[in-house]
Amino acid sequence: MEKRRLGSTDLEVPLITLGGNVYGWTLSEADTFYQLDRAMEAGLHFIDTADMYSRWAPGHVGGESETILGKWFAKSGKRKDVILATKVGVDMGEGRQGLKAKYIAEAVEDSLKRLQTDYIDLYQAHIDDKETPLEETLGAFDKLVKAGKVRFIGASNYVGARLTEALEISKKDNLACYVSLQPHYNLVQRQPFENDLLPVVEKYKVGVIPYFALAAGFLTGKYRSKEDTNNKARGGMVGKYLNDKGLAVIAALDEVAKELASTPARVALAWLIAQPGVTSAIASATDEKQFDELVEATKLKLDAEVIKRLNDVSTPITA
């Protein structure tokens, strides 16, 4: 499977990053184990999770995804075969949130314990904490890198100015620097990445691993009316796309998919993978068919004419 170097690191990652948000939420532990086994066989060895996954689900407290991954590592013995990414900073309850040094030091230990590992390949600030000085956050991450508990650090949900400031502080103070960025970016969510963040990641050679690559499933084509969103785990997330613009994108994906004997999901992922600055697209799967779509998307190459058609129909869509 084709790989790309993640920013300035020596990590070579596949074109699709396997999203771990579904582990323990819409995918059972047994099915997660099965998917992870298949992922190793297919070459999808870059897995992204977070400490708070899946705290939003009824009865969950956060840490469910990391815990299941840890059990799979213990059972399979394949920890060293995986490039493991997780995140810190989003509310875990009882005041456990943010990017203060003390909290990062505590949170990483909790994640390591759940994951049953002694190191994390990519530890990411899940969301910018504007109440904590960037110097404090980066200093805390730097200590983890020096201690060998974290190999590299990344940012998620930062705006261009704050990302630039963080990168400059790391350079000035000789601290570990963000090597990757997780932005919300896909065919129906092209801003602010293209206007605000792309110039920054290109200037500083930061790897980009967009989340919601399929717009919470909207770009697969399965949501075409309000009725389609009823009783679906992510139905509430896609309502904002059910407008003339969003449906025009779906129509274009249908057209291209038919021409290429492919599917809307594969085409949408291939478009994202082909965008300037993008290293690997994060997408999750909850059954074998969806997993196969992710694998096949890495093999689909879109020509310039197709990319232009998709660009034209999707510009600009903001949400």
Q: Name the residue ranges covered by the structural domains of the chain.
A: 3-313
CB 22 within 8 A of CB 217: no
How far apart, in whole angstroms, are the C-alpha atoms of residue 60 and residue 54? 6
What mean pLDDT comes out for the span 40-68?
A: 97
pLDDT digit string, tens, across residues 98-139: 999 999 999 999 999 999 999 999 999 999 999 999 999 999
Q: What is the CA radius of gyration of the chain?
A: 19
How does residue 319 score in pLDDT terms, banded at 50, 70 and 90?
very low
Lowest mean pLDDT among 13-27, 238-252, 274-288, 290-304: 238-252
Q: What secondary structure does DSSP assign to 207-244, as a single string?
A: EE--B-TTGGGGGGT---SGGGGTT-TTHHHHGGG-SH
pLDDT the model gives residue 168: 98
Specify the amino acid at residue 179: V
CB 199 within 8 A of CB 28: no
For strand 12-14 and strand 3-5, is the pairing parallel, antiparallel, or unpaired? antiparallel
Closest by Cα among 310, 315, 311, 318 to 240: 318
Q: Does the pTM of the predicted model rise above 0.85? A: yes
In the three-class reduction of DSSP (H, G, I as helix; E, B as strand; rest coil), residue 186 is classed as: strand
pLDDT the model gives residue 92: 96
pLDDT digit string, tens, across residues 227-286: 767 666 556 678 889 999 999 999 999 999 999 999 999 999 999 999 999 999 999 999
Closest by Cα among 272, 251, 246, 256 to 306: 256
Question: In the predicted model, is pLDDT for residue 2 greater than 70?
Answer: yes
Task: Tell me the percentage of the chain whose pLDDT exceeds 90.
Answer: 91
What mean pLDDT comes out for the span 143-159?
A: 98
pLDDT the model gives residue 234: 58
Protein fold of 3-313: TIM Barrel (3.20.20)
Question: In the predicted model, is pLDDT for residue 77 greater than 70?
Answer: yes
CB 154 within 8 A of CB 182: yes
pLDDT digit string, tens, across residues 88-98: 999 999 999 99
How far apart, in whole angstroms, are the C-alpha atoms of residue 4 and residue 186? 19
Per the prediction, the chain carries an average pLDDT of: 95
**CA 48 to each of CA 18, 178, 204: distance values in angstroms, whole numbers, following the listed order:** 6, 16, 22
pLDDT digit string, tens, across residues 172-219: 999 999 999 999 999 999 999 999 999 999 999 999 999 999 999 999
The residues annotated as belonging to the active site are 53
CB 63 within 8 A of CB 114: yes
pLDDT the model gives residue 226: 76
Beta bridge partners of 120: 150
Beta bridge partners of 19: 48
pLDDT the model gives residue 6: 98
Question: In the predicted model, is pLDDT for residue 317 greater than 60?
Answer: no
pLDDT the model gives residue 231: 61
Question: In the predicted model, is pLDDT for residue 316 greater than 70?
Answer: no
Run of H or E including 125 = strand 120-125
